[in-house]
Amino acid sequence: MRAPSFNLLSWLIAIAALLALPWLVTSDYYVNIASQVVIAAILALSLNLLIGFGGMISLGHAAYLGVAAYLSIYLTAHAGFGHLAGALIAIGATTVLAMLFGYLALRASGLGFLMITLALGQILWGVAYRWASLTGGDNGLGGLKRPHPFGLNLMDPAIFYYFALAFFGIALWCIARFVQSALGQSLQGTRDQPRRMRALGYNVWLIQWLSFVFAGFWGSVAGLLYAYYHQFVSPQTLHLTTSAETLLMVIAGGTGTLLGPVVGAALVVILKNVVSAYITRWLILLGVIFVVIVLFMPEGLVPGITRWVRSLRSRPRADKAADTPSIAKDSAR
Amino acid sequence: MTTPVLEVTGLYRFFGGLPAVRDVSMRIPAGERRLLLGPNGAGKTTFFNLIAGDFPPSQGEIRIFGQNVTRKSANQRTHLGMARTYQIITLFSKNTLLHNVVISLVGLREIRFNPWSDLRRQTPLWDEARATLALVGLEHLADRTVAETSYGERRRLEIAMALAQKPKLLLLDEPLAGLSADERQDVQRLLQSIPRDVTIVMIEHDMDVALAFADVITVMQHGQVVVEGSRADVVADPRTREVYLGH
Amino acid sequence: MNFWIIQGLNGLAFGSLLFILASGFSLIFGLMRIVNLSHGAYFMLGAYVGLSAIEAGVNFWIAILIGGGAICILGTVIERFILRRLNGQPLAQVLVTLGIAFIIADTCVWIWTGDPRPVPMPRELTGAFRVSNLAFPIYRLFVIGVAFALAAALWFLLERSRLGAMIRAGVDDLPMARAMGIRTSLLFSAVFCLGSALAGAGGVLAGPILSVYPGLDSDMLPLALVVVILGGVGSLLGAFVGSLIIGFIYSYGQALFPDLAYVILFLPMVLVLTLRPTGLFGRQAI
Ligand SMILES: Nc1ncnc2c1ncn2[C@@H]1O[C@H](COP(=O)(O)OP(=O)(O)OP(=O)(O)O)[C@@H](O)[C@H]1O
Ligand SMILES: [Mg+2]
């Protein structure tokens, strides 16, 4: 699978738009939503490594978001650690957790993998709920003050947005490099032809495990930003619904493309914020979206709509629609 | 006596109680061209899968280059210098032919664990892949995706992916199946041109083609070896006729 | 000593409830390769429906039938009209059942509000069973009895009946079963209906012990998954043993280290997945 090949100009426009956003939207409310989108996008990018590039459908990706958030808040606000130490330990420990969970989940494949990730994630949710002395139980854990790295006042919504955007940029860059690297290309090979990959000398299990850990790492970075943004975390963050929302971002934007999950994250976060302003039944809507996407747009919202638009535009040459040499040619070298 | 490249002793494999491979033993010395013959369902592909390490044997031992690999994984065996093709084409169909061969090259190199440098920039790899494609006469299609190629071209790509790894032991599972007469000739010539220090085990149904190629022939039926010997011996053996006419 | 016996019985009772839920989940997964993520929601909805029936003046035993029946109908409709359309797309089926689980869960909050609701016990089973200085609620003993009876009945159904022979053939090798002329579509409906009914009835039965609350589904679903991971795919014995193991671990864990009761659940998963990825009684890896 290839990322759509953007030329330099469209990249520059996109970057300029992202940087100018706090001036374009004047209200703090919208800047904050932009911050949420950026954080969600990091999480969705990392999940897409597993789903889109690895073919491993995880329903427990909220684990890394939630655990990193819990750990960073607990360490800095309740255990007396400094911000930097708290952040590093939180990310490190969550990555170690991803190593363990990856090992367990990769004992199976396909539906078994999905079941194990879901079970592990939900057990963590139960832990957060019941280990109240540590996690605050249902009330959640708060008390975190946003740090002041390099003298930046992260309480200012625009500055926080840039802070999160910087992390997003680094995440996108690293993940883009990973996808084009030998390891990332091998991961896509294991998705398409695991048996052939083994015969070619690849340790399929190791490739999948390394990718799982890499995805867990970026999930934990998202979790750290989540903690800074909300200054609060509750069991809901670890719940299956969070994993499902992230999965929705990935499949809505189209799996296996680099930027699809970013679009998906924007769609889901904005939709959730808009809907929540009018009704309280977000979960029903989430469920309905899942059912509708699966039944009517199995390839994802964005690719589905794109294909639909493209087929409208190229109707005069409809016979060529199935042929895709133009995308096919540019990628190899 | 030199160690054989492939040595198999007392190999069994059961699928749900039914033996697909039954007590097969075989010694193949370096440089030999060995042909596996046998009717459909004789267990030839299963035998290849056991050697390649797709699944473990129910019983028996496999040695490659003198090393016991019975408990080794498929990827470890490949790193010893073995490569294979598949009877049922197993390629990365959304990728270009060039990309397929590069993936094959990367499988044996340390770079496969590199999560950072852009694979597209590894020019020597792509040049080598192009050269390999030229070897099988597919250079002009290098930038097509597999999905856009013909069946015969895919068969040749299967071989190219195996050859790219410069194996010392090459397992070919019906490399000529489904090819036109012209394509057959091309592939045959290609196989003939493989240097003699490569040991080749080939499964093939087409007697004429196969006989011209092989030094030693093994005939299998019902998972067992029925006849084994030189071309002349096997052709003359009445059991060979029985296997083929009885089928 | 008393502590161990009482908690052991509690674990047995909880494991029994879990078995009623997990046996259906496991059968559905084993036969149809559908990971029914709605199963926890079925359990909760069944409990709510049963509760409403009781509050409307219906007898407890009839309420179990109503709860089980309602979920059975719901499950059958979902299987017929949604899951069947996605035949051969296991991933799409999982996502649909996940979506349906969310819809059911949120609808329950809508109708029955967010407060936990105890389900009244049938009058004939209130009170405790006493041996010397030990007292144990009769209702829990009854639940244990129901689970064992169910296990026996399911065993009989699977091992001794024609339907069971067809189900076993389907679990072992679906294409082969189809080739032998088994009408798998009917079989699928029957198994899905049975599994749904068990989940719904199990929810009502669990009501007096666990009560009903939003989140009951999220509590039960992962436990059912863990049971199947432990016990092995499509194995009735596995579901039974797995349920009891989790029941005991959960019950003793909650009594001994209430904070860590959930953390301990990782333990059997780590052990089984490391040492025996097929599950204790499974023949194929999940
Ligand atoms: N993975 C498997 N599971 C179950 N049975 C299998 C499997 N692979 C092969 N078999 C069975 O083992 C027997 C031997 O099959 P195999 O593919 O090795 O035969 P073959 O000699 O390669 O035949 P052909 O000439 O048709 O390729 C067949 O009866 C086949 O059905
Ligand atoms: Mg074969």
Query: What is the 3-state secondary structure of chain B?
Result: CCCCCEEEEEEEEEECCEEEEEEEEEEECCCCEEEEECCCCCCHHHHHHHHHCCCCCCEEEEEECCEECCCCCHHHHHHCCEEECCCCCCCCCCCEHHHHHHHHHHCCCHHHHCCCCEHHHCHHHHHHHHHHHHHCCCHHHCCCEHHHCCHHHHHHHHHHHHHHCCCCEEEEECCCCCCCHHHHHHHHHHHHCCCCCCEEEEECCCHHHHHHHCCEEEEEECCEEEEEEEHHHHHHCHHHHHHHHCC
- Measuring CA to CA, how many Å separate A207 from each of A20, A48, A203, B54, B114? 39, 15, 6, 18, 11
- What is the Cα–Cα distance from A300 to A253, expressed in whole angstroms? 6
DSSP A111-154: HHHHHHHHHHHHHHHHHHHH-HHHH-GGG-B--PPPP-GGG--T
Interface mutation target, options B54, B93, B113, chain A, most CBs of A under 10 Å: B113
DSSP-derived 3-state class of residue C136: strand
Q: Which residues contact C232 (CB under 8 A, 6 or more apart)?
A: C238, C278, C279, C280, C281, C282, C283, C286
pLDDT above 90 (res A316)? no
Residues B196 and B144 in one domain: no
Share of chain B above pLDDT 90, in %: 75
Q: What is the CATH number of domain A17-282?
A: 1.10.3470
Please say whether the beta carbons of B170 and B83 come within 8 A: yes
| Cβ separation A127–C263 shorter than 8 A | yes
The pair of three-digit structure tokens given for residue A90, joined into one six-digit string: 């939180």
Q: Tell me, what DSSP letter sits at residue A155? A: T
Contact B180/A at CB under 8 A: no
Look up the ipTM and state it: 0.93
The pair of three-digit structure tokens given for residue B123, joined into one six-digit string: 């020019």
If one residue of B44, B55, B86, B218 were mutated to test the ligand 1 pocket, choosing by the most ligand atoms within 8 A of its CB, it would be: B44
Please say whether the beta carbons of B171 and B52 come within 8 A: yes
Nearest to B201 by CA among B60, B69, B30, B67: B30
Write a three-state SS string for C155-186: HHHHHHCHHHHHHHHHHHCHHHHHHCCCCHHH
Helical spans, DSSP H, in chain C: 2-32, 39-55, 60-78, 90-112, 138-160, 162-172, 174-179, 184-210, 216-231, 236-256, 266-275
Neighbours of B23 (CB within 10 A): 14
Contacts of A189 in chain B (CB under 8 A): 92, 103
- What is the Cα–Cα distance from A290 to C155, expressed in whole angstroms? 36
Burial code (b: 16+ CB inside 10 Å, e: under 16) for B136-161 equals bbbeebbbbbbebbeebbbbbbbbbb
The pair of three-digit structure tokens given for residue A226, joined into one six-digit string: 């989540």
Give the per-residue pLDDT at C158.
87
Indicate the angle between helix axes A28-48 and A240-253, nearest 10 degrees.
80
Give the per-residue pLDDT at A315.
52
The structural domain count of chain B equals 2
Q: Tell me, what DSSP letter sits at residue C212? A: B
Q: Which residues contact B171 (CB under 8 A, 6 or more apart)?
A: B48, B51, B52, B82, B83, B84, B85, B201, B202
A88-124, pLDDT tens digit by residue?
A: 999 999 999 999 999 999 999 889 999 999 999 999 9
Nearest to A230 by CA among A88, A32, A85, A71: A32
Share of chain A above pLDDT 70, in %: 88
Please say whether the beta carbons of A38 and A240 come within 8 A: no
Measured between CB atoms, which of B78, B96, B112 is closest to A199?
B78
Local confidence band at A326 (pLDDT 50, 70, 90 cut-offs): very low
Contacts of C106 in chain A (CB under 8 A): 281, 283-284, 287
| Cβ separation C102–A287 shorter than 8 A | yes
Nearest to C230 by CA among C189, C180, C278, C173: C278
Chain C: closest CA distance from residue A81 (Å): 24
- What is the Cα–Cα distance from B138 to B160, expressed in whole angstroms? 9
A19-43, pLDDT tens digit by residue?
A: 888 888 888 999 999 999 999 999 9
Residues within 5 A (CB) of ion ligand 2: B 45, 87
Residues B186 and B208 in one domain: yes
- What is the Cα–Cα distance from A201 to A195, expressed in whole angstroms? 10
Low-confidence ranges of chain B (pLDDT < 50): 247
Q: What is the CATH number of domain C2-275?
A: 1.10.3470
For residue B44, which ligand has an atom nearest its CA? 1
- What is the Cα–Cα distance from A274 to A270, expressed in whole angstroms? 6
Give the per-residue pLDDT at A323.
31
Contact A241/C at CB under 8 A: yes
Residues B149 and B172 in one domain: no
Please say whether the beta carbons of B122 and B86 come within 8 A: no
Interface mutation target, options B112, B116, B172, chain A, most CBs of A under 10 Å: B112
A34-80, pLDDT tens digit by residue?
A: 999 999 999 999 999 999 999 999 999 999 999 999 999 999 999 99
Please say whether the beta carbons of A218 and A42 come within 8 A: yes
Please say whether the beta carbons of B105 and A189 come within 8 A: no
DSSP A70-107: HHHHIIIIIS---HHHHHHHHHHHHHHHHHHHHHHHTT
> Quick one: CA torsion of B234, B236, B239, B244, rounded to 10 degrees?
80
- The CATH number assigned to the domain holding B22 equals 3.40.50.300
Q: Is the CB of B43 under 6 A from ligand 1?
A: yes
Residues B95 and B71 in one domain: no
Local confidence band at A313 (pLDDT 50, 70, 90 cut-offs): low
- The CA-to-CA distance between both ends of chain C, in Å, stands at 39
Phi–psi pair at B31, nearest 5 degrees: 85, -10
pLDDT above 60 (res A277)? yes
Please say whether the beta carbons of B30 and B5 come within 8 A: yes
Q: Which residues contact C237 (CB under 8 A, 6 or more apart)?
A: C231, C281
Among B165, B180, B207, the domain boundary falls at B165
- What is the Cα–Cα distance from C113 to A149, expressed in whole angstroms? 44
Please say whether the beta carbons of C34 and C100 come within 8 A: no
Among B142, B165, B188, the domain boundary falls at B165
Bridge-partner residues for C212, per DSSP?
C117
The pair of three-digit structure tokens given for residue C230, joined into one six-digit string: 């432990």
The pair of three-digit structure tokens given for residue C251, joined into one six-digit string: 């019950």
Nearest to C27 by CA among C206, C223, C243, C239: C239
For residue B40, which ligand has an atom nearest its CA? 1
Local confidence band at A303 (pLDDT 50, 70, 90 cut-offs): low
Q: Is the CB of B10 under 6 A from ligand 1?
A: no
Domain ranges of chain A: 17-282
Among B123, B139, B165, the domain boundary falls at B165
- What is the Cα–Cα distance from C70 to A284, expressed in whole angstroms? 20
Residues B175 and B241 in one domain: yes
Nearest to A118 by CA among C243, C28, C259, C95: C95
Residues B118 and B52 in one domain: no
Nearest to C218 by CA among A246, A116, A284, A122: A122
**Structural Rg of chain B based on CA atoms:** 18
Domain of residue B106 covers 90-165
Contacts of A107 in chain C (CB under 8 A): 273-274, 277, 285
**Structural Rg of chain A based on CA atoms:** 20
- The CA-to-CA distance between both ends of chain A, in Å, stands at 14
Q: Tell me, what DSSP letter sits at residue C195? A: H
Local confidence band at A257 (pLDDT 50, 70, 90 cut-offs): confident
DSSP C81-101: IIIGGGTT-HHHHHHHHHHHH
A183-237, pLDDT tens digit by residue?
A: 999 999 999 999 999 999 999 999 999 999 999 999 999 999 999 999 999 999 9
Please say whether the beta carbons of A160 and B99 come within 8 A: no
Measured between CB atoms, which of B84, B112, B142 is closest to A186?
B112
Residue in the block written with tokens 């990555």? A95
| Cβ separation A202–B75 shorter than 8 A | yes
If one residue of B37, B45, B207 were mutated to test the ligand 1 pocket, choosing by the most ligand atoms within 8 A of its CB, it would be: B45
Please say whether the beta carbons of A94 and A219 come within 8 A: yes
Cα atoms in the 13 Å half-sphere on the side-chain side of A291 = 19
Residue in the block written with tokens 């025996």? C276
Q: Is the CB of B13 under 6 A from ligand 1?
A: no
Indicate the angle between helix axes A111-130 and C216-231, nearest 10 degrees.
130
- What is the Cα–Cα distance from B56 to B68, expressed in whole angstroms? 13
Domain ranges of chain C: 2-275
Residues B60 and B179 in one domain: yes
Query: With left for phi above 0 and alpha for psi between -120 and 50, is residue B138 left, alpha or beta?
Result: alpha
C201-243, pLDDT tens digit by residue?
A: 999 999 999 999 999 999 999 999 999 999 988 789 999 999 9
Residues B125 and B247 in one domain: no
Neighbours of C133 (CB within 10 A): 6
Low-confidence ranges of chain C (pLDDT < 70): 285-286
Query: For B90, which residue in chain A has the nearest alpha carbon?
Result: A196
Neighbours of B239 (CB within 10 A): 13
Indicate the angle between helix axes A111-130 and A83-105, nearest 10 degrees.
140
